[in-house]
Chain A
Amino acid sequence: MRNRLHPTTGARKKMRWIVMAVATGATLSACSASKQREAAVYGPTESVIEVIAVLRRHVPDDTYRFPAASDFTKRNVYRSTLLRLENLEKVHADALRAGHMDAAVAFAKGRSLERLRAYDLAAEHYRAAAKKSPRLRDEAVRSAEVNERIHRANKVGIRLPDPLPPAGKRDPFPTDSDHVLAELDDRSARLSGLIDLYPDSHYVYIVREEIERTDVVRAQYFAAMRHALPGGQVRAISELQRVASRHVSSKYHRRHLLDVANFYARMAEEYTQANPPESLRFDPVVFQELVEAAMQIYQTVAAEDGSPEKIEAGRRLEAFLAFTLQVDRDRFTK
Chain B
Amino acid sequence: MPTATAPVPSRSDLAAAALAESALASNSAEIRQNLHHLTLSDARLAPLGQDLANSTLDDPIQYREASKKLLSRGSLDPLLKRRLTKTVDGDPLSRADGHILDHRHTLFAHTFNAVTEPLGTSVFSGMTIAPYKVALSAVKWAIRMLETDPLTVPERQALTLRKHFLDVHPQAEQAPKIRNQVEAAQEDLHATRRRQLLAHAGEAERSDQPRLARVYAQRAELEVPGDSQAQTIIARADKKIARQNRLRGRTLQAANATPDDLDLPSEQLAHAALEPNMDAGLSRLALHRPTAVRRVSESLLLPDSNLFANARALREADTENELGDEADFIQAIGSHEAGNEKLAWRQFDDVARRLPDRSNMARHATALVTDPWQNPYGSFLVEQSRQRREETVWYLFGETAVPRFKALPQAAGYVLATPQMAQALATAPLRHLMGSGGKKPNFEKGMSVAAYRYLERFPNGAYRSELIPWLYGYEEDQENWSKALRLADFQPGFDPEKRAEIVETMGRERLKAAGKIRRRDTRSHVLRNFARDFPDSDAGASAGNLARTEVEEASPQTIRMTRGFLYENPEIAGPNGLGLREQYLDEDTANGELHPRGVVFLGGRIVEFDFVEPGGDEEAEPIRIQRPISSERLSRTISTLEEQTFLNARLDHEAEIDPDARRDLYFERARLGLTHQVDHRPGAHSNFVYESMREKYGMVRARESILPFDLVLQGSVADLSLGAFPRWRAPKAAPDAFLYR
Contacts and interface: CB of A to CB of B under 8 A. Distances in A.
A70 B385 CA distance: 57
Interface string B230-246: 00000000000000000
Contacts of A48: 16, 20
Contacts of A133: 21
A152 interface: no
Interface of A: 36-37, 39-42, 45-50, 52-54, 56-57, 60, 65-66, 72-74, 83-84, 86-91, 93-95, 97-101, 103-104, 107-108, 111, 133, 135-136, 138-139, 299, 303, 305-308, 310-311, 330, 333-334
B21 A72 contact: no
B639 A87 contact: yes
Residues of A contacting B: mostly: helix
Contacts of B722: none
A238 B263 CA distance: 60
A35 to B, nearest CB: 9
A104 B20 contact: yes
Interface string B21-53: 111111100100000000000000100110110
A271 B78 CA distance: 62
A86 B671 CA distance: 8
B12 A45 contact: yes
Interface residues of B, number: 73
Contact of A40 (B20, B52, B78, B642): B78
A138 to B, nearest CB: 8
A124 B434 CA distance: 76
A48 B63 CA distance: 20
A49 B49 contact: yes
B646 A305 contact: no
Interface in B592-616: none
Interface in B640-669: 640, 642-643, 646-647, 649-651, 659, 668
19 contacts: A36-B651, A40-B650, A41-B647, A42-B77, A48-B20, A50-B83, A52-B23, A54-B55, A56-B52, A73-B646, A74-B659, A87-B671, A91-B643, A98-B7, A101-B17, A103-B21, A111-B24, A135-B27, A306-B736
Contacts of B12: 45
A57 B671 contact: no
A53 B639 contact: no
Contacts of B83: 50, 54, 72
Contacts of B164: 66
Interface string B332-353: 0000000000000000000000
Contacts of B167: 65-66
A95 B7 CA distance: 6
A93 B79 contact: no
Most buried by A among B21, B78, B160: B21
Contacts of B25: 135-136, 138-139
B7 A306 contact: no
A100 B17 contact: yes
A317 to B, nearest CB: 11
Given A72-B646, A72-B649, A97-B7, A334 B211 contact: yes
- Please provide the 10 A-B residue pairs with the shortest distance between their CB atoms, ordered closest to farther: A90-B639, A97-B6, A104-B20, A87-B639, A306-B160, A57-B55, A53-B52, A56-B55, A100-B9, A135-B21
Interface string B347-381: 00000000000000000000000000000000000
A40 B193 contact: no
B2 A53 contact: no
Given A37-B651, A40-B651, A104-B20, A45 B45 contact: yes
B526 interface: no
A49 B16 contact: yes
B1 interface: yes
Contacts of A138: 25
Contacts of B215: 334
